[in-house]
A and B are shown apart, each in its own frame.
Chain A
């Protein structure tokens, strides 16, 4: 692994520009995604690239990594003009990208994924592949799971480390098939799916790589993390660089202000910008509301001893019971893959056939819910976790998707058939209210960006009359700062107005900011914390399965 040592030697040149982009422009049709962007990543630094949805962060990194070519401007890597035809060429030149959606084949083992990336030919000996994988992992000091396990069996954190290792060892173009560390490593929203402990491990890994000379760029929304790990920060807004400089010159408020623009009214009021007083205040208010409502009303949603196995026979839900009263907000914290998806399925009455040995019962206002039609009829609104796949019909237009929820359909079709004018008007109202971009009701839902698909689902589920029960899974994933704040505020408002609200979240900031009663889902079990509103540390520990509280 002499290349690794070479990288170590390069650490002396820390501060040398690795990637230089000057005046980069990129248009997609009429939309200007990048409008003359300058960006420099230096050897040995961790550089955070910040910005709201559509600010151009991803486009910029895709230009850097060869997925898109710039319309104008220059891109230089290590002082040389860099123009490559594909991501593979960019990688061979030293730019590695870790995508937010992992590019790992789930059915292959860790070692097989690496062998695929390295373009291994001929006979493959599993033992030798495993050994090779371990050697690479040791060389880069990345702790990975058993190389013989399938990727789909790994936790998200483990998968991410495999993805990083894959990016680091190089690609099938590496002439000798030996590790070939990149000069630049780009990670797109790397912490979005991690628990706090996994974030710590990731940051340690990134700091180690930077110390050995790699320039690391993380694309992110999370301000606290930027301040924790980044040496430098560049903020994009609407395709332009708003600020770029040492991270030490910023605090969360100044970063947030730069990201969303000068209009301070759009900033979240409490919670996400400062983790201190604001949260406590909201928390206290929520608490009194919940208690007052709780004493008076019978539960709107009752889940009693629900257990289930998945198709493979593994226990995914283990004796889950809880009640949510009208006006109450329950936040179920937990890392994805601990039963959230299954519990949402059971609550919504959808996809139950994917579960085996389903026991227990779910009641809305005392009536059992077995099918989606029961649940909807009883006044349930659902924001599913994978809204791109489960929440929308991609081929249908925005207005048609909005009409799939009955109340809006009733309004658009008062005589039984759809009145197009009414439908369009109702849809346009919702689209504007939730800021879906582009605000064209005739556009196909599948053509929207991820964040906007999310807004569309939220518009349909949360925009109408007050639902009896709201079930939302990671409601703010993929949304930018302003939209996140407004969704969280809306969920709180719905609860205050008398809906029983259950939010599943893997984001501790969100858990704190929603300020509801907190429980944690871990390996299919619902864990109660020591208090209805436990400290951040305790939630983090429970999510990671450390120290199960009574």
Chain B
């Protein structure tokens, strides 16, 4: 029972984890991209269209990553290169994505109300691990994006702590002027980081539309991009903390489905709230030593 919850939590937490890992990287470089929700949504839509056209999920995954990069570059052009306010640009991206994907969806698929049926990502059984008793079949039989997200956690941690490029990213977020004084191109580097994060947000969208559900509806992200933003704060800007936060949201979502299936007579909206309420509560936990990157959210102007 618990193992099944974990497995479901893992699957439901994967879009959050992918998006939050990208956002973590962006924020460590000093940029606050609240357009995450919109980027995910565009990724989910691109995945749906491409997968439906091709009849297989892989083109959908690639299209989602590419669309995510495009949205992130749009954000970056305004917020990093032109120095516009990051919050405003992010909000604009969110509104644009919601309206844009909605309009395109109706244009392409009509307003019939029948939801799309999409090819879904196949489950991959990991050799050896999936043969473990009890745990194996549930935890280690997931789609590829779940494994990718999990793999990215140690990779990201190692990248930030132990590589020259990771060092540059951290310097950008805490003291961009020092980076500039060393001849590092602050804004170019931030754009590169944004593009990587955009790809991850796009993949997060693909994980939404091509995973078990295999469908796309308007506003399918349902605030998960904002949850991912919260998870970065909850996770204290560390990949492992972000993993914990994503799993918390995932498990809460699994519980919510479970509760709806039980005979408890409560409005189902209360259960729908559960993951969001838990995320909010988690943000209230004492946060100890961690703090945001010092230059977070400030656009960088050269003298």
Contact present for A108 and B167 (CB under 8 Å): yes
Residues of B within 8 A of A106 (CB): 174-175, 294
Q: Does A418 sit at the interface, judged by CB under 8 A?
A: no
| C-alpha gap A517/B74 in the complex (Å) | 61
Q: Does A107 sit at the interface, judged by CB under 8 A?
A: yes
- How far apart are A111's CB and chain B's nearest CB, in angstroms? 10
Interface string of B174-185 (1 = CB under 8 A from A): 110111011100
- How far apart are B213's CB and chain A's nearest CB, in angstroms? 40
Q: How many residues of A contact B (CB 8 A)?
A: 27
Residues of A within 8 A of B163 (CB): 122-124
Interface string of B160-179 (1 = CB under 8 A from A): 00111111101100110111
- A residues 110-124 with Cβ under 8 Å of B? 112, 115-117, 119-124
Binding site for A on B (CB under 8 A): 162-168, 170-171, 174-175, 177-179, 181-183, 289, 293-294, 303
Contact present for B164 and A120 (CB under 8 Å): yes
Residue in B162, B166, B179, B182 with the greatest tally of chain A CB atoms within 10 Å:
B182
Contact present for A104 and B165 (CB under 8 Å): no
Contact present for B182 and A88 (CB under 8 Å): yes
The answer, among A67, A88, A104, A124, for a CB contact under 8 Å with B164, is A124
- How far apart are B157's CB and chain A's nearest CB, in angstroms? 13
| C-alpha gap A115/B168 in the complex (Å) | 10
- How far apart are B154's CB and chain A's nearest CB, in angstroms? 14
Q: Which 9 A-B pairs have the closest CB atoms?
A: A88-B183, A103-B178, A121-B164, A105-B175, A103-B181, A120-B164, A107-B174, A105-B171, A105-B174
| C-alpha gap A99/B174 in the complex (Å) | 18
| C-alpha gap A86/B289 in the complex (Å) | 37
Residues of B within 8 A of A149 (CB): none
Residues of A within 8 A of B179 (CB): 105, 116
Taking A108-B167, A116-B168, A124-B163 as contacts, is the C-beta distance between A103 and B177 under 8 angstroms? yes
| C-alpha gap A172/B178 in the complex (Å) | 13
Residues of B within 8 A of A173 (CB): 183
Residues of A within 8 A of B174 (CB): 105-108
Contacts between chains A and B (CB distance < 8 A), count:
63
Residue of B nearest to A107 (CB): B174
6 further interface pairs, Cβ-Cβ under 8 Å (given A108-B174, A116-B171): A86-B183, A88-B182, A103-B181, A120-B164, A122-B163, A123-B163
Residue of B nearest to A120 (CB): B164
Q: What are 19 A-B residue pairs whose CB atoms fall within 8 Å in the complex?
A: A87-B183, A103-B182, A105-B171, A105-B179, A106-B174, A106-B175, A106-B294, A107-B293, A108-B167, A108-B170, A108-B171, A115-B167, A121-B165, A123-B162, A125-B162, A171-B182, A172-B182, A172-B183, A312-B289
Taking A104-B175, A105-B178, A107-B174 as contacts, is the C-beta distance between A112 and B167 under 8 angstroms? yes
Contact present for A119 and B175 (CB under 8 Å): no
Residue in A105, A112, A120, A172 with the greatest tally of chain B CB atoms within 10 Å:
A105
- How far apart are A66's CB and chain B's nearest CB, in angstroms? 11
Residues of B within 8 A of A103 (CB): 175, 177-178, 181-182
- How far apart are B190's CB and chain A's nearest CB, in angstroms? 15
The answer, among B167, B181, B289, for a CB contact under 8 Å with A120, is B167
Contact present for A115 and B175 (CB under 8 Å): no
| C-alpha gap A121/B166 in the complex (Å) | 9
| C-alpha gap A172/B180 in the complex (Å) | 12
- A residues 78-134 with Cβ under 8 Å of B? 86-88, 99, 103-108, 112, 115-117, 119-126
Contact present for A117 and B182 (CB under 8 Å): yes
| C-alpha gap A108/B167 in the complex (Å) | 8
Residues of B within 8 A of A67 (CB): 303
Residues of B within 8 A of A86 (CB): 183
Residues of B within 8 A of A171 (CB): 182-183
Residues of B within 8 A of A108 (CB): 167, 170-171, 174
Residues of A within 8 A of B289 (CB): 312
Residues of A within 8 A of B178 (CB): 103-105
Contact present for A124 and B183 (CB under 8 Å): no
Residue of A nearest to B175 (CB): A105
| C-alpha gap A233/B301 in the complex (Å) | 36
| C-alpha gap A151/B179 in the complex (Å) | 15
| C-alpha gap A121/B174 in the complex (Å) | 19
| C-alpha gap A88/B166 in the complex (Å) | 21
- How far apart are B237's CB and chain A's nearest CB, in angstroms? 10
| C-alpha gap A87/B182 in the complex (Å) | 8
- A residues 47-88 with Cβ under 8 Å of B? 67, 86-88
Residues of A within 8 A of B170 (CB): 105, 107-108
Residue of A nearest to B171 (CB): A105
| C-alpha gap A122/B159 in the complex (Å) | 9
Residues of A within 8 A of B166 (CB): 124
Taking A105-B170, A108-B167 as contacts, is the C-beta distance between A116 and B183 under 8 angstroms? no
| C-alpha gap A80/B18 in the complex (Å) | 54
Contact present for B181 and A119 (CB under 8 Å): no
| C-alpha gap A109/B291 in the complex (Å) | 16
Taking A86-B183, A107-B170, A172-B182 as contacts, is the C-beta distance between A119 and B164 under 8 angstroms? yes
- How far apart are A73's CB and chain B's nearest CB, in angstroms? 22
Residues of B within 8 A of A124 (CB): 162-164, 166-167
- How far apart are B222's CB and chain A's nearest CB, in angstroms? 35
Interface string of A307-348 (1 = CB under 8 A from B): 000001000000000000000000000000000000000000
